[in-house]
Chain A
Amino acid sequence: MADGTFLPSASRRDVLRTGMAAGGGLLLGFAVAGKGAAQAASAKLNTYVSIAPDGAVSIMAKNPEIGQGIKTSLPMIIAEELDVDWTQVKSVQAPSDPALYGRQFAGGSAATPLHWDELRRVGAAGRAMLVAAAAQGWGVPASECTTASGVVHHKASGRKATYGSLAVKAATLPTPDLKTLTLKDPKDYKIIGRSIAQVDTPSIVTGKPLFGIDVVVPGMLFATFEKARVFGAKVASANLEAAKAVKGVRHAFVVEGGTALDGLLPGVAVVADSWWAARKGRDRLDIKWAAHPTSGQSSAGFAAKAVELSKGAPLRTERNDGDIDGALKGAVKTVEAAYAYPFISHANLEPQNCTAQVKDGKVEIWAPTQNPQPGRELVAKALGVTNDDVHIHMIRCGGGFGRRLNNDYMVEAAFIAKQVGAPVKLLWTREDDMRHDFYRPAGWHFLQGGVDAKGDIVGWKNHFVSLGENGQFARSAGMAAHEFPARFVPNYRYDLSLMPCGVPTGPLRAPGSNAIAFVVQSFIDELAHAAGADPVAFRLKLLGDKGMVGTLGRDAYDAGRMAGVLKLVAEKSGWGRKLPAGSGLGVAFHFSHLGYFAEVVEVKVAGDGAVELVKVWVGVDVGRQIINPFGALNQIEGSVLDGLSGAMTQQIVIENGAAVQANFNDYPLMRIDAAPPIETHFIKSDNSPTGLGEPAMPPVIPALCNAIFAATGKRIRQLPIDTGLLKSV
């Protein structure tokens, strides 16, 4: 996963294939191409759409569902152009099969921009073939036929035919050329743009078994797996016999494991007739862990080292525009500030789990994963089988947020299942989950900035101290050389230092951006106040009239779109209005995952420092079309509250090489009583639609901190927010 701005590649051009379904009827799909037409012609057809003679329309949802609504929104795109009623459609979770579907994953808010064009054309191709079948049968030109609700009409003769009745004949017709198909005028959309409930909603509200934790395989045993709190430490000893003495426990054994933190690590497995029995057995293991080189690491140690590194020469300079030293010297006002943010956990509400069965050299896996294909490779390697021997069922995830891009739980389940020779459901405890995450990396920024007499930023210098070694960032610990406000400030320098880290890190919703926006947009606020300028006016001036900078697909940034959402959110929030003492409005913007977001937060800070989140306004530009407003708003509101929750209370503290926090009592998540109302406004700019799983999150964090400054005059430079510092009485 790319950090910050994930830019999907549109290089994969597949060949549309059509054919007859097994029970008769029309199939539409793609042969995954890439190695010449001959291979494409012989490739197995993946099925995106099938229309049965009885009129039933099945549409495959190719990507894993993690709550982002993709099992609903991608089929909506096809159904629209196919011109059927949504009630006729059944959305079916596709199997995990790279040979058929190419890459299948949930990440980077990428599904909408990757599939918007392709899937509309799949639908339109199906419609064209059904129309052709009807026209041939009636001996009329196809151009005289129209469609609606899964029926082809010929107005002049008053004839009509259902798609189901045409499906068998349509399947014998040639496949239309995707490029010449006519797509609908958006004003005629009946499905796209409508609020449609998730296809799994009826099952969710009645408690049907949908999730990984609910998987049941006949003869299945239940497993728990304890790893060292110091990441990767080996087992020195364990009382396996004591665990086995617990009623219901069948197996207890040490797993040697490896050293890669995203693979199979050392630990002790306990397998029983029930999960509760396995846990009771585990409690008696009395494991002693071997010494480990990272056992001395701590958050406090990282922070002290960061300060030390910031005072010396950087490891390298990532960008150096203009003359930063001259600019700061010539500035009328300069500001110097150090910002820091902690490790945070994904805390998926469904703890990591996986069910696996190993039989006759074949591995079958039921996994709530965002990213099955690397998991397949991990399992194949650990078990000594080929990738083709591993079959993965993609199960709905009880939250993703980037955690389930890793497949450590999958390889553990497969290994344990092989050892015991029976199907096994491995379930982590909440404590396992929080202590063995791939955390959002902590980071430290040492900033200097200056404004000139006109109130413009003339210099911006950041010495970023991040995690990593051998010149490489730790996973998701990077910041791009073009990160805003690079290219908008004439004298800009970004120095980098790295320190090694034994704590596993990885992507968490809007990776990179979820921390960097806090630093950048807070420091812009500091400079606005130094210049005596209004924070919105100051930002609009900074964006200026630059329009599009950079190169599409790489580092493009459309300052015009950003200014648009900033003006909109300022207007909608009543920016500039007078507020009582102790209340304040804060603003911030951020571009990530191809989405332009500006947000305003209103807070009220009590005398004891308690922060009340009064309201949030969101200005959004993700292009001309919102596919499913239900899902879109849910993602935006969830991202906003996720950001606020993280900023207010969340941190994983490392002590003695291990995570201190372990459950929701010491790692509090936002609850309903703290959740503010959120008002979202869209600009429908003439750009291709892009995704909403992530980009609403980053700007709300600095908007909150800037609001706290407006309310109290106190600048938040470290997350999570220490409300003790905000006390006024």
Chain B
Amino acid sequence: MAFKLNVNGKSLSADVDGDTPLLWVLRDSLGILGPKYGCGIGQCGACTVHVDGTPVRSCSVPVESVGAGKVVTIEGIGADPVGKKVQAAWSALDVAQCGYCQPGQIMSATALLKGKAKPSDEDIDAAMSGNICRCATYTRIRAAIKQASGQKAGA
């Protein structure tokens, strides 16, 4: 059946079964390729998007449960001033190695900073430990979140 979705401020529709995960509706039906498939069971965070500002693992969210929720993906997060700062910090510190997990990392980091402007190391660990980086860029992810929040690295 047809589902109407609000993605990055646009109204889009997709004709899929209601149990189709949001990730695959975004990727295969709508051509929004930033959210990535990594595990399919909500373990790696590569598919992280925001629904009404909350980070969710889109591989494990059936499209029928999204309803009128506002979906924001990595493609749209730059329109948010916090998201833009996070992307800038990621660029300035050249966080990525392969880069595959980084859309999900940036979405989780943005949600963290929107909830807490100056997170501690413990806050960062708690908010980011749902996102695996197989290349293990973790020291830079920490530093970039500190930089985006205007804190010194290691502070």
Contact = CB atoms under 8 A, between A and B. Distances in A.
Contacts of A642: 135-136
A637 B136 contact: yes
Interface in B47-103: 73-75, 78, 87, 90-92, 94, 96-103
The interface residues of chain A, by DSSP majority, are classed as loop
Nearest to B107: A207
A138 interface: no
Interface string A184-219: 000000000001111011101111111101101000
A483 interface: no
Contacts, number: 177
Given A205-B102, A274-B16, A678-B139, A67 B129 contact: no
B19 to A, nearest CB: 9
Given A276-B21, A349-B46, A672-B124, A399 B134 contact: yes
Interface string A412-446: 00000000000000010110000000000000000
A398 interface: yes
B136 A398 contact: no
Given A349-B44, A638-B97, A274 B24 contact: yes
Nearest to B97: A67
A675 B125 CA distance: 10
A306 B24 CA distance: 46
The interface residues of chain B, by DSSP majority, are classed as loop
B147 interface: no
Given A197-B94, A207-B73, A207-B103, A349 B132 contact: yes
A399 B139 contact: no
A645 interface: yes
Interface residues of A, number: 62
A350 B38 contact: yes
A157 B60 CA distance: 70
A396 B98 contact: yes
A663 interface: yes
B28 A222 contact: yes
Nearest to A247: B17
Contacts of B34: 206-209
A198 B78 contact: no
Contacts of B73: 207
Given A197-B91, A274-B24, A665-B41, A396 B99 contact: yes
Contacts of B128: 671-673
A673 B125 contact: yes
A349 B133 CA distance: 8
A69 interface: yes
B94 A634 contact: yes
B106 interface: yes
B94 A198 contact: yes
A275 B29 CA distance: 10
B102 A66 contact: no
A209 B33 contact: yes
A640 B135 CA distance: 10
Contact of A67 (B99, B106, B132): B99
A204 B102 contact: yes
Contacts of B46: 349
Interface residues of B, number: 58
B45 to A, nearest CB: 9
Contacts of B129: 671-673
A548 B115 CA distance: 57
A69 B91 contact: no
A670 to B, nearest CB: 6
B139 A677 contact: yes
A642 B97 CA distance: 13
Interface string B107-129: 00000000000000000111011
Nearest to B124: A672
Given A206-B75, A663-B39, A350 B94 contact: no
Contacts of A201: 90-91, 94, 96, 99
B99 A429 contact: no
B27 to A, nearest CB: 8
Interface string A255-289: 00000000000000000001110000000000000
A20 interface: no
Given A205-B102, A274-B29, A276-B21, A630 B94 contact: yes
Nearest to A353: B37
Contacts of A200: 99
A350 B100 CA distance: 7
A195 B92 CA distance: 10
B122 to A, nearest CB: 9
Nearest to B142: A672
19 contacts: A66-B98, A197-B94, A198-B94, A201-B94, A204-B90, A206-B78, A207-B73, A207-B103, A211-B36, A275-B27, A347-B134, A350-B98, A396-B99, A398-B36, A638-B97, A645-B136, A664-B41, A670-B136, A672-B129
Given A67-B97, A201-B96, 4 more contacts: A637-B139, A640-B136, A664-B38, A664-B39
Interface of B: 16-17, 20-21, 24, 27-29, 31, 33-41, 43-44, 46, 73-75, 78, 87, 90-92, 94, 96-103, 106, 124-126, 128-142, 154
In the A-B complex, the 6 residue pairs with the closest CB atoms: A207-B34, A67-B98, A398-B100, A207-B74, A641-B136, A204-B99
Interface of A: 66-69, 195-198, 200-202, 204-211, 213-214, 216, 222, 247, 274-276, 347-351, 396-401, 427, 429-430, 630-631, 634-635, 637-638, 640-642, 645, 663-665, 669-673, 675, 677-678
